A and B are shown apart, each in its own frame.
Chain A
Amino acid sequence: MNTRFSLVVAACLAASAAAQDLIAVKGGKVMTITGPTIDDGVVLIQNGRITKLGKSADVEIPWAAKVVDATGKVVMPTWVVAHSQGGQRGFNENMQNVPWLSVADAIDPAAVYFEDALRNGVGTIHVLPGNQTLLGGSGLVVRPAGRTVEDMAVSGNTGIKMSLFAAGGGRLQQIRKLRRALDDVREYLADFDRRKAEFEKEKAAGAIAADKTWTEEIDRTKKGACDLVQKKTKGWLFVPSVAEIDEALRLDKELDLQIVLGANIDDAVPQLAKFGKPVILDDTIEYFETDEETQKEKKVCTPKLLADAGVPFALTLGAGGPTSYPWWQLGTCVRNGVDRRMALEALTIVPARLLGMEAQIGSLAEGKLGNVQVLTGDPLQATTWVETVLLEGEVVYDRAKDPRLQYLFAEDVKKASDKKPTDKAPEKAAEKPAEKRGDAAGQGEPKAEVK
C-alpha cells in the first residue's frame, strides 16, 4: 500500500513536470473544427497550450520537443460534454431541494465512466447532479484524468442543477415545488435585506453602538440558490419532455438558464426556434414515436429537427451503450441528415461555448489548451479508435497501454486471464487504469471489478 502510494506521488510529480515539456503531434490530418483542416499538420504544445499549428513544412519542431507521430491518423480536439451525471457515486439525492450540495463530493475519480470517457477521446466533462431533483446542487467541470477530484477539476461554480422531472409526484406538482423553492429564496433574501436595512437605520439613529457592524452572512445552505435568483450563477435546467417546455421558457425570463432537453421534445421545436438560445440534448437523440391517431410510428431525430429550425445544440454522451461513443452520436446525426460539420461542432466548440470556455477548449487554435486526441481514422466511423489523448499537453491515454481494451481484445484467452493486470506501470499513460486493475487483481477474476 505504502509503496503504491509513493508510486502515485511520483507519478503526480512526473505529470506536473511533463506539462512543462514541449510536445509536437506530427504528420496527422489536423481537424481544427473552427478553422480549416490541415493535411500533414503539426500541433505544437508548450506549457500545456498550443503554441503553433500548421503544415509540417511550415512549422519547425524544436529539437527538445517530444514527438507524437500521427502520420496517417486524424488529430482533433478532445470532445466536450456540457452536461453529464456520470462518474458519481449516487447522483440523485433523495431530498429534492438541496442547492448547497456539490458534485465534487460525489465524483469518484476511479469510476469506470471517466476511464471510458478518456478512451473515447473526451477531454472535458461538466458533471452535474442527476435529473431527479428540484434545486440539486452545483456542478463541476472536470477532465477525466487524475486521482483526486482536485486533480480533475477544471472549473467549479458552474451553476446549479434544476429539473422539471416529476419525481414522485405529478408534473404540476414539480413545477409548483420549483416555483415555491425559488419564492422561498426570494423571500429569504428580501427579509435579509430588510433586516440589514433596519440595522443600518437603527445604527444611524443611535440605537445601536456606532462601532457595531452587520456581521450576518447569507445562510450557506441558501447561498447557491440566492446566487441563482440574483442571476449571479447559471441554472442548468433539465426539461424532460415537451409538456414542461413552456414553464422552462418562463423560468428563463427570470433566471440565467441553460436548457437541457430530454427525449420526446420534438413537438417543442417551434417554441425552441422562437426561443433562439442554444440547447443541450440528452444522449437519446433518435427514437420512435407513435401517432396516437393512426398508430403509425415514425423515427424522430432531435438534432435534425433542431438543425432544420436553426436552433444551435450541443450533444452529450451516455454512460454505457452505443450513445457513449462519440462516433455513434455523430453518425446518428449524419444518418438523419444533419450536416457533418454541425455534428462535429455539437460535441466540441458548441459545448465549449455553453461552458464559457471557448477560449480554452473545443477547437485547435494557437493559445488554446493542448487538449488533443489522435484517432486511427475518421471520427465518424465505427472502426476508428482513439489512439492517444493529450490533456494540456500531457499524454493521459495511450491505446497500446490500455489494459482493459487489451483484456477484451485478447485472442489468446487462456493467457489473458492468467495474466493479471500489471502492478508496475512503466509509463504515465498506463498508470491510471493499470493502478485500478492492480486494485482488483487480488480479488479474483478481472471481471469482478466491472460495475
Chain B
Amino acid sequence: MNARFVATLTLSAALASAAATAQERTTVFTGARILPAGRPAIENGVLVVAGGKIQAIGGSSLPRPDGATTVDCSGRTITPGLIDASFRGGADPADLNEQSDEVTPHLRVLDSLDPEDRSFERARAGGVTTVHVMPGTRNVIGGLGCVVKTWGTDPATMVLNAEASLRIVMGTEPSMGNRAIRGGSVDSMYYRRPTTRMGVVWEARKAFFDAKQEPETVPGQAPPAANPGREVLKRVLRGSLTAYTTARSEQDIRTALRIAAEFGYQTVIDDAQDAYLVADELAAAKVMVLLGAPSAPTVAGTAGADGSDPRFATVRILAERGIPFVVTTGSNLSALDLVREAMFAARNGLDPAKALDAVTILPARLLGIDQRTGSLDVGKDADFVVWSHDPLDPAAVAESVFIDGNSVLASR
C-alpha cells in the first residue's frame, strides 16, 4: 500500500512536470469538423489551446498565433470532452454501498474514489473527460456525489465539486435482499431495513422530516455530532444541494416527485425509464431527467428494471415536451461507452446534435460546471476529443483525448 502510494506520488510528479510543459505551449488543431456543443458545427475549424484553456475557436480564417504547434486533424471530428452525469465507477463497487445504515446522507463518495481505478482509463479511452460519481443504490439515502475529471495530476485537481449531489433511491434496490435473519430479532445488528417499497419511502420521508424538525445550526458551531446527516439534508431543504433521486418505474417517479414537493426541495430524477409516462408532471415540476443507457431496451426484451417499461420513443417524447434530459451510463451494468449510448439515443430518433448535447453541455449545466467545461468556447478548460469519424458513427474511435490541454490517452 505504502509502496504503491509512493509510486503514485512519483508518477504524479512526473506527469505534473510533463503537463506543465504541455500546457505552456500554444497548440492549434486545424482541419477538423468541430462540433462545439450547443451551437452549430464548424466545418474545417480551428481550435487554439494554451495554458490548459481554449484560447480561440473558429473557421479556417481564424488567425493563428506565432510559434504555435499545429496539429492537422483533417477528416476528423472534434467535440468537447464528454460528461457522464451518472458514472458507475471510480471506486471499487464494494466501496460504494455503506451497509451500517440505510440513511447515510453525510457520506462522501469522494472518500471512496480511487484515481487509479480502471474505469477512469476506460472512460478516457471513450472520450469521457468529466464524470459525476454517486454512492451506490443499496441505501435509501446513500450520500454525497462528486464531480471529477477522469484524469488529473492529483485528486485535488481532478475534483470539480466534492459535494455535488445527494443520492436518494426509490424502488426495490434499497430493500433488495433485506430480511430479518432466521430466528433473529428485528433488533439484531444483522437486520437491515427496509424490506418493502413503503419501507423505502418511509425511511426517506422520516429522514427529511427529522431534518426539518431540527433547529438551525448556530453559525460557527458544529452540527450535533449524533446527526451528521441532518445538516446535509438541511442543505437539500435550503436548496443549496441538489437531490438525485433514482426512480425507474412510473410509480417510483411519481413517489420521488411527491416527496420532493412535500418537503419543498429540488430533485433530479435518475434513470427515469418511465419518464415518458410522467412527462406532464416532470414538465410542471421543471425536473431534469437522467436517462440511463438508451441501448438497454431492445425489441426482443423491453422489460426494464423495477417494473418499468422503457420505450424507444422516450427521447423524442421528452425532447418534444421540452423536458431537459441527459444521457448517462451509470444505472445499467451492461451500459456501453457513453458515446455509444448517445448514438443509441440518436438511433431512437433524437436529433444527432441534441444527442451530443445530452452528453456534453447539458450535463455540464446540470452539474453546474458549464463555466469550465461541456462545450468548446473561449476561456473554458481544454477538454476535447479528436474522433476518427463522426462520434455517433459506430466506427468512431477517440483518437486523442485532452483534459486541461493534456493528452491523456496512454498509447494507442
Do the two shown chains form a genuine complex with each other?
Answer: yes
Chain B nearest Cβ from A336, distance in angstroms: 8
Contact of A404 among B299, B349, B393, B395 (CB under 8 A): B299
> Is A413 a contact partner of B394 (Cβ separation < 8 A)?
no
* B34 contacts A by Cβ under 8 Å: no
The proximity string for B residues 18-58 relative to A, scoring 1 for CB distances below 8 Å and 0 otherwise, is 00000000000000000000000000000000000000000
The answer on a CB contact under 8 Å between A381 and B393 is yes
- Given A335, A404, A407, A408, which contacts B394 in the complex, CB threshold below 8 Å? A335
CA distance A230 to B233 in the complex (A): 75
Chain B, range 206-243, C-beta contacts under 8 Å to A: none
- Which residue on chain B has the smallest CB distance to residue A343? B395
Q: Is the CB of B317 within 8 A of A413?
A: yes
CB distance B395 to A408 under 8 Å? no
Q: Are B393 and A451 in contact (CB under 8 A)?
A: no
If A382-B347, A413-B276 touch, whether A319 touches B118 (CB-CB below 8 Å) is no
What is the CA–CA distance of A408 and B301 in the complex, to the nearest angstrom? 11
> Which of B312, B346, B352, B394 is close to A409, meaning CB atoms less than 8 Å apart?
B312
For B346, give its contact among A328, A332, A383 (CB under 8 Å). A383
Q: Which of A321, A335, A447 contacts B397, CB < 8 Å?
A: A335
Instruction: Verify B397–A450 contact, CB threshold 8 A.
Output: no
> B299 to A119, Cβ gap below 8 A?
yes
- Partner pick for B277 among A405, A409, A411, A413, CB 8 A cutoff: A413
Q: Are A319 and B300 in contact (CB under 8 A)?
A: yes
Contact B299 A116 (CB under 8 A): yes
A contact residues, total (Cβ < 8 Å): 35
Let me know if B74 is at the binding interface, CB within 8 A.
no
Cβ-closest chain B residue relative to A299: B125
Over the window 327-349 of chain A, the binary record of Cβ atoms lying under 8 Å from chain B Cβ atoms (1 yes, 0 no) is 11011101100000000000000
Asked if A410 is at the interface of the complex by the 8 Å CB criterion, the answer is yes
Among B122, B125, B303, B394, chain A packs the most CB atoms within 10 A around the CB of B394
B158 sits at the interface (CB 8 A) = no
The CA-CA distance from A331 to B118 in the complex, in Å, is 25
Q: Are A409 and B396 in contact (CB under 8 A)?
A: no
A408 touches B312 (CB 8 A): yes
- A322 to B315 CA separation, bound complex (whole angstroms): 18
Within 8 A of B (CB), among A380-415: 380-383, 404-405, 407-411, 413
Chain B residues, CB < 8 A from A251: none
In the complex, which of the residues B276, B316, B343 contacts A382, with contact meaning CB atoms closer than 8 Å? B343
Please tell me if the beta carbons of B349 and A409 are within 8 angstroms of each other in the complex: yes
Q: How far is the CB of B306 from chain A (nearest CB, A)?
A: 14
**How near does chain B come to A323, taking the closest CB pair, in angstroms?**
10
Residue on B nearest A340 in the bound complex, by CB: B395
Closest A residue to B349 by CB, please name it.
A409
Which residue of chain A lies nearest to B392 when distances are taken between CB atoms in the complex?
A: A382
- A330–B349 Cα gap in the complex (Å)? 21
- Say yes or no: A410 contacts B311, CB within 8 Å: yes
Is the pair B302, A450 in contact by a Cβ cutoff of 8 Å? Answer: yes
Residue on A nearest B394 in the bound complex, by CB: A331
Scoring B residues 52 to 87 as 1 if CB is less than 8 Å from chain A, else 0, what string do you get? 000000000000000000000000000000000000
**B298 lies within 8 A of A334 (CB):** no
In the complex, the answer to whether B300 meets A113 with C-beta atoms within 8 Å is yes
Q: Cα distance A115–B125 when bound, in Å?
A: 36
Residues of chain A contacted by B312 (CB below 8 angstroms): 405, 408-409
Q: Give chain B's interface secondary structure class.
A: loop
Are B301's CB and A450's CB within 8 A?
yes
In Å, the complex CA distance between A231 and B245 comes to 62
Flag if B298 contacts A324 (CB, 8 Å). Answer: yes
Report the Cα distance A407→B312, complex, angstroms: 9
Establish whether residues B299 and A408, one from each chain, have CB atoms under 8 Å apart when the complex forms: yes
Residues A451 and B301 in contact in the complex (CB < 8 Å), given A297-B118, A335-B395: yes
A440 CB within 8 Å of chain B: no
Chain A residues whose CB sits within 8 angstroms of the CB of B300 once the complex forms: 112-113, 115-116, 319-320, 324, 450-451
Smallest CB–CB gap between B214 and chain A, Å?
A: 42
A residues less than 8 Å from B267 (CB atoms)? none
Tally B residues with Cβ within 8 Å of A. Answer: 37
Scoring B125, B299, B320, B334 by chain A CB atoms within 10 A of each residue's CB, the highest score goes to B299
Q: Which residue of A lies closest to B348 (CB)?
A: A409
Closest-by-CB residue of B relative to A86 is: B300
B285 at interface, CB cutoff 8 A: no
Contact present for A411 and B313 (CB under 8 Å): yes
CA distance A138 to B272 in the complex (A): 45
| CB of A436, distance to nearest CB on chain B (Å) | 13
In the complex, what distance in Å separates the CA atom of A77 from the CA atom of B290? 39
Within 8 A of B (CB), among A107-143: 112-113, 115-116, 119
Near A by CB (< 8 A), chain B positions 287-306 give 295, 297-303
CB-CB under 8 A from B297, the residues of chain A are: 408
A334 touches B395 (CB 8 A): yes
Evaluate contact between B394 and A321: CB separation under 8 angstroms. no
Measured in the bound complex, the distance between the Cα atoms of B125 and A102 in whole Å is: 45
CB distance from B196 to the nearest CB of A (A): 23
- Residues of B within 8 Å of A288, CB to CB, are 122
Q: Answer yes or no: B325 CB below 8 A from chain A CBs.
A: no
A405 touches B394 (CB 8 A): no
Residues of A contacting B311 with CB < 8 Å? 407-410, 413
Q: A115 CB to closest chain B CB, in angstroms? A: 8
Q: Which residues of B contact A447 (CB under 8 A)?
A: 302-303, 309
Give the CA-CA distance A92 to B125 in the complex, in Å.
38
Residue on A nearest B336 in the bound complex, by CB: A322
B115 CB to nearest chain A CB (Å): 15
Cβ B299 vs Cβ A380 within 8 A:
no
User: A330–B393 Cα gap in the complex (Å)?
Assistant: 12
- Mask of B305-341 contacts with A, CB within 8 angstroms, 1/0: 0000101110011001000000000000010100010
Q: Does the CB pair B393–A331 fall under 8 Å?
A: yes
Q: Please measure, in the bound complex, the distance between the C-alpha atom of A324 and the C-alpha atom of B118, giving whole angstroms.
A: 27
> Is there a chain A Cβ closer than 8 Å to B384's Cβ?
no
CB distance from A444 to the nearest CB of B (A): 13
B295 touches A408 (CB 8 A): no
Which residue from chain A places its CB closest to the CB of B334 in the assembled complex?
A: A321
Residue B344 is within 8 A (CB to CB) of chain A in the complex? yes
Contacts of A383 in B (CB 8 A): 346-347, 352, 392
Residues of A within 8 A of B349 (CB): 409
Residues of B within 8 A of A (CB): 118, 121-122, 125, 276-277, 295, 297-303, 309, 311-313, 316-317, 320, 334, 336, 340, 343-344, 346-349, 352, 392-397
Q: What are the 10 closest A-B residue pairs judged by CB atoms, nearest first?
A: A331-B394, A334-B395, A408-B312, A116-B300, A382-B347, A335-B395, A112-B300, A382-B343, A320-B300, A409-B313
What are 10 residue pairs bridging A and B, where the CB atoms are less than 8 Å apart in the complex? A320-B298, A321-B298, A322-B340, A331-B394, A332-B394, A335-B396, A383-B346, A408-B302, A408-B311, A410-B311
List 18 other contacts, CB 8 Å, given A116-B300, A299-B125, A380-B395.
A319-B300, A320-B300, A322-B340, A331-B393, A335-B394, A335-B395, A382-B393, A383-B347, A383-B392, A404-B299, A407-B311, A409-B311, A409-B313, A409-B348, A410-B311, A411-B316, A411-B317, A413-B311
Residues of A near any B CB (own CB < 8 A): 112-113, 115-116, 119, 288, 297, 299, 319-322, 324, 327-328, 330-332, 334-335, 380-383, 404-405, 407-411, 413, 447, 450-451
